Amino acid sequence: MTDSRSGPARKRSKLGLLPTIDTPADLKKLSVEQLPALAQDIRDAICDQVSKTGGHLAPNLGTVELTIALHYVFDFGQDRLLFDVGHQCYPHKLLTGRFKLLSKLRQRDGMAGFPEPRESPYDLFSVGHAGTSISTAVGMARGDQINGEAHRKTVALIGDASIVNGVAMEGLNNAGTLKRQFLVVLNDNGMSIAKPQGALAGYFDKIRVNPHYDDLKRRALDVIKRLPGGSTLEEAYHRLGEVTKAALAHDHLYEHFGLMCIGPIDGHDLPGLVSMLKEVRDIDHPVLLHCKTVKGKGFDFTAGDPTKFHSPKPFVVEGCRVELKQSGRSFTSAFADALIDVMQRDEKAFAVTAAMPDGTGIDKVMGRFPTRTLDTGICESHAMDMCAGMAKTGLRPFFAVYSTFVQRALDQVFQEVALQGLPVRLCLDRAGYVGGDGAVHHGFMDIALFTALPGVVMLAASDEPNLRAGLEFMRTYDAGCSVIRYPRDNVAKKPLQSSPPAFVLGKANLVKPAKKSLGGDLAILAYGAMVYPATEAAKELEQQGYDIALYDARFAKPVDIELIEQLAKAGTPVLTIEDHSLAGGLGSQVLEACNDRRISTDLIYRLGMPAKWVYQDTRDNQLAEVGLDAPSISRRVRDILDRHAKGPLKIHVDVSQATAAREKTVTH
């Protein structure tokens, strides 16, 4: 522990206080006057580390003081602290014994980039999706109350971009009915992940610290009277401290939700925050404390500081997060250019994102077609229904969304899109393992979700030319909803086919024929990004004397059942490969289609993501961990062929015997 801790400490000798904090109890030993210096330590440690490994920078820099103040005032060994999205949890982790893990930020066995209960009991939920903290906090508050542990305070920390997400608003509405302490800290930096969207963003902007009226207390009492709860609250008012009374918000949106609203106050003023939280902590009614913060506080995004942030791997600032500079061309970039081309050819085509213009490449599209690109904010459900409405008027919306976030709009894909047969186009970035973001962000179940919906077709792109061909297929596919998936990875520098054939519904694409027969010794049906490691494996196998056919499956729904049938008839083993859960994935679609047509699946083998959670690491390591890298694929193919060489593997089924037995019993 001392070793890894001394690492950053050596480099940053001025980290005087931070290394002395092992637990929040250590923090509480500091005086309020010492806290700003600790804040600077935390800021320096985070900047230093993120410059090396990448990670979320701005959200964490914006919440340093808030986090210190919360841990200073509350006791989260007992009390409950729920993070929303969670990309702002680094300061919290540094204050709860994880300084030593920081040097391996977002790496295997290092510090996860999001709250992670496996790391510490101070992390209650592993999160990464927005808007959930208030609802889980409501559940824990109710649970503690029920369990006779009402002394445990509950705090949800949520940003202004997340709080307008539907789940968060549902949570607030329910929180307003609680009859106990409950604190929502609104971290309002006015930035959202990209820039704020929706009318409420303008609303937040308008709210400023209230002028101090002469009749402040009378007005504050008026506020209290307007809230549901009436006289009890009036009594509570008289117990409020002066700081709170002075900051009671008048006419705040969330007052309507039944919360006592306080602020906005300065989210970087540590003494002020501590005083306020000490008073607010004891209010036995739901409270929203509105804090204005500066995203990336203390770090100049535009100029940077080359000496301070020098690092062999330079980092780049992408929106609110700092990413390691990519050396290659990402699928995201390729998608942006491909969609721009589609939109140039087709004036009915529109681009939609839900607060992820950077992450999905839609920012570039927006630059090119500002009036044909829409950003809804973190509202995937709304975005999906808006796309349905647009499609209903004859437009061709392309909704670019992470695979993991489209889960939030599953019901909308069902009702407003698939059931209506509307041609909404879903472009799923981050399909498969996502690397450092870990289990909260893997795109592991999109095929399973969409293949159960009648009429939805499901594509995957293996490289840039296929991404372009896939999007072109989707552009003209007006028969219903179409979905394409592609990974958080780089496209191949040298594509297998620079001009692949056009996508044909339900048809795979042969990218490497076998030598001797249709499928050779074994045919690989690889989906999306898996085509490339499969190609590598096939090359190695050929060098070892195996004859391998390699198909880019292209479609998981419908699968190319004619091809599978031909291969089955020829007695060729088939291995499906996908960076999707084995449950409900491409392989499962093949099994279903074969079963429907009474094609034997004795020679079908499936490789995919196993039913386990895979934590932060590089995407390559994650793929290798589950056997989806080229060497594992080769090994798997050899295993299959070796076992076949020893004879049929399936359990012997003596149909004639079973039939004979039945014939004896049939009496009609």
Residue type present at position 326: Q
- Measured from the CB atom, the residue of 21 and 164 that comes closer to a copy of itself is 164
Q: Tell me how many residues contact a copy of itself (CB under 8 A).
A: 151
Number of neighbouring beta carbons within 10 Å of residue 73: 20
DSSP state at residue 516: S
Which 542-561 positions form the footprint of a copy of itself (CB under 8 A)?
544-547
What are the residues facing 330 on neighbouring strands?
490
Contact 94, 19 (CB under 8 A): no
Do strands 260-266 and 286-292 pair parallel, antiparallel, or not at all (unpaired)? parallel
Please identify, using beta-carbon distances, which residue of 504 and 570 lies nearer to a copy of itself. Answer: 570
Binding mask 176-215 for a copy of itself (x = CB under 8 A): xx-------------------xxxx-xx------------
DSSP bridge pairs for 266:
292
Indicate the residue among 49 and 632 with the shorter CB distance to a copy of itself. 632
| Binders in 287-326 for a copy of itself, by CB under 8 A | none
Q: Does 617 bind a copy of itself (CB under 8 A)?
A: no
Instruction: List Cα–Cα distances, 245 to 74, 96, 259, 277, in angstroms.
Output: 21, 32, 15, 13
CB closer to a copy of itself, 49 vs 133: 133
Which positions from 232 to 261 touch a copy of itself by CB under 8 A, shown as an x/- string?
Answer: -------------------x-x--xxxx--
Say whether residue 410 binds a copy of itself (CB under 8 A). Answer: yes
| Residue 639 binds a copy of itself, judged by CB under 8 A | no
Q: Say whether residue 601 binds a copy of itself (CB under 8 A).
A: yes
Q: Which two tokens stand for residue 569?
A: 């008839």
Closest CA to 412 of 445, 385, 386: 385
> Measured from the CB of residue 569, what is the shortest distance to a copy of itself in angstroms?
6
**In this structure, how many other beta carbons lie within 10 angstroms of the beta carbon of residue 165?**
27
329 or 638, CB closer to a copy of itself? 638
The CB-of-366 to a copy of itself minimum distance in angstroms stands at 15
603 interacts with a copy of itself by CB under 8 A = yes
Site for a copy of itself in 421-440 (CB under 8 A): 439-440
Lookup: tokens for 39: 């804040």
Instruction: Tell me how crowded residue 520 is: count the other CB atoms within 10 A of its CB.
Output: 24
Tell me the window of 39-47, 53-61, 525-533, 592-600 that interacts with a copy of itself (CB under 8 A): 592-600
Residue 352 near residue 376 (C-beta atoms within 8 A): yes
Among 55, 59, 113, 171, binds a copy of itself (CB under 8 A): 171
Interface with a copy of itself includes 656 (CB under 8 A)?
Answer: yes
Contact status: 654 vs a copy of itself (CB under 8 A)? yes
CB atoms within 10 A of CB 609: 24
Whether cis (ω within 30° of 0) applies to the bond prior to 558 is yes
Catalytic positions, written as ranges:
295, 380, 408
User: What are the residues whose beta carbons fall under 8 Å from the beta carbon of 276, sequence distance 6 or more?
Assistant: 243, 244, 247, 262, 265, 289
59, 296, 500, 584: which one binds a copy of itself (CB under 8 A): 584
In the complex, the smallest distance separating the C-beta of residue 385 from a copy of itself, rounded to whole angstroms, is 3
Structure tokens at 600: 């034997």
Residue 385 makes contact with a copy of itself by CB under 8 A: yes
- 9 forms part of the interface with a copy of itself (CB under 8 A): no
- Furthest-apart CA atoms within the chain: distance in Å: 100
Place of tokens 């647009």: 390
- Three-state DSSP state, 37: helix
How far apart, in whole angstroms, are the C-alpha atoms of residue 520 and residue 550? 10
Q: Residue 69 Cβ, how far from a copy of itself at the closest point, in Å?
A: 24
Tokens of 657: 């015997």
Nearest distance in Å: CB 532, a copy of itself: 24
| Residue 556 near residue 589, CB atoms below 8 Å | yes
For residues 627 and 634, give the distance between their C-alpha atoms in angstroms, rounded to a whole number. Answer: 10
Q: What residues numbered 96-135 form the site for a copy of itself, per CB under 8 A?
A: 117, 124-129, 132, 135
Kindly state the smallest distance separating residue 255's Cβ from a copy of itself, in Å: 9
The CA distance from 399 to 375, in Å, is 10
Distance of alpha carbon 387 from alpha carbon 394, whole angstroms? 11
Q: How far apart (Å, rounded) are the C-alpha atoms in residues 292 and 207?
A: 10
Answer for which of 146, 218, 493, 494 binds a copy of itself (CB under 8 A) is 146
DSSP character string of 615-656: -SS-HHHHHHHTT-SHHHHHHHHHHHHHHHHTS--SPP--HH
Q: Which of 588, 622, 632, 634 binds a copy of itself (CB under 8 A)?
A: 588
361 vs 397, beta carbon nearer a copy of itself: 397
Residue 143 or 314 with smaller CB distance to a copy of itself: 143
Window 463-502: contact mask with a copy of itself (x via CB under 8 A):
----------------------------------------
Nearer to a copy of itself by Cβ, of 337 and 602: the residue is 602
Minimum Å gap between C-beta 216 and a copy of itself is 20
Cβ-based nearer residue to a copy of itself, 312 or 545: 545
Quick one: DSSP state of residue 573? -
- Near a copy of itself by CB under 8 A: residue from 431, 474, 586, 599: 599
Q: Kindly state whether residue 231 participates in binding a copy of itself, applying the rule CB under 8 A.
A: no
Closest among 331, 342, 580 to 442, alpha carbons compared: 580
**Closer to a copy of itself at the Cβ: 314 or 571?**
571
